Chain A
Amino acid sequence: MHMIFSIAPSDPTPIYRQIVDQVRRQIAGGVIVPGQELPSVRAMAQQHTINPMTVSKAYSLLEAEGLLERRRGMGMVVANHSEQSDKVQPQDLLRPSLKAAAQQARQLGLTAQAALAQFEECLKKTHQEETP
């Protein structure tokens, strides 16, 4: 299992939400592929020293969303893309960071245009760095 979860319990985000977000991101990013098995509730709990109920809560949430499915004898498995492609958009995953940036912009007193200009510039720069 080469999926890496990092749990920060001191983070104000609840642990189950951290797991849910990380699984979503990794599925959207293609790090974990459909059919791949996730670590069992117990293994995850023991590894990160957290409450197994938190893990199973996260898994149930993801199952309700359709990202994961339970397979007999194998535990939780990533569901196929076709079932959830229209549910999770990468744009949605970007929203929290953008929200934080928007808050910062407001605190700094920037107008919407100035902030957007900044964002465009950053996007360009990142794009340039990636495609030499």
Chain B
Amino acid sequence: MNEPIISAHAVQHVYQRKTVLNQISLDVPEGAVLGLVGRNGAGKSTLLRNLVGLTVPDKGFCKLDGCLSTDLSDSVRERLGYVAQTPDLFDWLTGDAHFERIGSLYARWDQAHAYALAAQLDLPLHTKAKDLSLGDQQKLSVVLALGHDPDILILDEPVASLDPMTRRAFMRALFEQRGSESPRTVIISSHLLTDLERVVTHVAFMREGRIQLMDEWDALTEHLRLVQVKGAETPLGGIFQSRQPEHGRWLVDTRLPGAPFDGRALNLDDLFLELNA
């Protein structure tokens, strides 16, 4: 129980002479819902692909439930669900046919559950995938990932093309009653921060291939404050200087000794803006 379910150790990934992931280490405990937040090109998708095993990092390694990502055992794969950034469906098959084909690969696939999910998300099941709109295709790929009740879910912008109602339905579906006892561990990478705020327990901010900040979300909102200081001094407990030095805005962790208590509290949007300014 102590070992994190999803972990990355000093992962380095270079693509076309550009360092996409720069010594990233990440540990996600069981039952956490991690929101992976960062600008486009920060390397979120690459990190998720490394975690899942589709990409091999140049240095370092990733583990899922104790298994190396490049060599996942069947039992881990049975409990893994992944949604890629593009739907990547079989164009010539209908949603039904997808359920059959993909469902037959998993032992825990529950056809009724998949149909219920499809109904919840308002997904037509009898059109060929190439005739579906992008939003519907995304819904289908989400249902395909959730149909076998996975314990580990890795989602790469799963709701980017969905309308707000469907997004709510999706988030409700993430936390539905489950057949297995172990809690579900989720990593979601998304730009829709208002949606993420509702459901995350942990947040990780990525920038240019590094993790700027990762902590429990409740702790961050409670203890992180934006402080304006005069001049170029560093306030005690300051952990991140936002914007240019002359602006004097610092993110301060009030748990650190000597840190000032006042300062503006931040929600996810604000924090993202400050960290990426």
Contacts and interface: CB of A to CB of B under 8 A. Distances in A.
Do chains A and B directly touch (beta carbons under 8 Å) in the complex?
Answer: yes
Interface string A1-21: 000000101111111110000
Interface residues of A, number: 22
Contacts of B222: 14, 17
B266 A12 contact: yes
Interface stretch (B55-63, B83-91, B132-140, B192-200): B192-200
A115 interface: no
B269 A10 contact: yes
Given A14-B218, A16-B218, A48 B175 contact: no
B197 A10 contact: yes
A51 B221 contact: no
Interface in B134-189: 168, 171-172, 175, 177
Nearest to A57: B218
Contacts of B194: 9-10
Given A14-B221, A45-B175, A9 B201 contact: no
A50 B198 contact: yes
B198 A42 contact: no
Interface in B203-227: 217-218, 221-222
Contacts of B197: 9-10, 15
Nearest to B266: A12
B178 to A, nearest CB: 11
Given A10-B197, A12-B267, A52 B175 contact: yes
A42 B199 CA distance: 13
Contacts of B199: 49-51
Interface string A35-52: 000000010011011111
Contacts of A45: 175
B267 A51 contact: no
Contacts of A74: none
Nearest to A41: B175
A84 interface: no
B262 interface: yes
B265 A12 contact: yes
A50 to B, nearest CB: 5
B198 A15 contact: yes
Q: Which 9 A-B pairs have the closest CB atoms?
A: A12-B265, A9-B197, A14-B218, A9-B198, A51-B199, A14-B221, A50-B198, A49-B168, A10-B267
Interface of B: 31, 33, 168, 171-172, 175, 177, 194, 197-201, 217-218, 221-222, 262, 264-270
